[in-house]
Amino acid sequence: MRQIILDTETTGLSAENGDRIIEIGCVELLHRKLTGHNKHFYLNPERDSHEDALKVHGISNEFLRDKPKFAQVADELLDYLADAELIIHNAAFDVGFLNKELELLGRGPITQVVSNIIDSLQMAKELFPGKRNSLDALCDRLEVDNSGRTLHGALLDAELLADVYINMTRGQDALLMDVMDDVSQGASQERLDLSQFDLPVLNASEHELAAHDDVIKQIDKASGGQAVWRILENPVA
């Protein structure tokens, strides 16, 4: 599976009110592995950034004056994104800006180009309900080194999000991806008939049973007698 982690920086918060993209960063994953085949553009937005936006990304208006306009990189970007699954943190924001840029060129929305869009912010909210799920918070929680992130930058943020996404989905996808890696390397996958083996049943020893009973008692005490097995033993009529 080919996935692209994408991030943008913009002149402000509202594409509908004329704000534009000034930076696009893309990081490619192939079967969950970084390929190094990334894309990065600085863009001339043909307008100045708002003061608050400048404080976030630190990209000066002067720096962007001689950069290409979105129209000049659109074909290269869309060819790169074609048929990939996009992973974006707070996807509605970035997708809204991409769609507005494409609309200004008379083109259809980005969903006509890519296979799917995953919002990693929504994914994080489901995994960590009630907690902060900004990119910085997720880096801290998942032990992803973001010490080099003093300002927002599209490529750096995409690289960090790639690590965060891999960590968030490791439990779901690791086994599947290992199999896919084997297949991609030409390894044969044969079904093993377990009926030919005499599999022994190993009973727990007295020591192991005592240790298990001790853990159960600790859990029962900590839950105030509300452990699941207590409820099942004494169901409410």
Task: Give the catalytic positions in this structure.
Answer: 152
- For the chain, give the secondary structure using H, E and C: CEEEEEEEEECCCCCCCCCCEEEEEEEEEECCEECCCCEEEECCCCCCCCHHHHHHHCCCHHHHCCCCCHHHHHHHHHHHHCCCEEEECCHHHHHHHHHHHHHHCCCCCHHHCCCEEEEHHHHHHHHCCCCCCCHHHHHHHCCCCCCCCCCCCHHHHHHHHHHHHHHHHHHHHHHHHHHHHHHHCCCCCCCCCHHHCCCCCCCCCHHHHHHHHHHHHHHHHHCCCCCHHHHHHCCCC
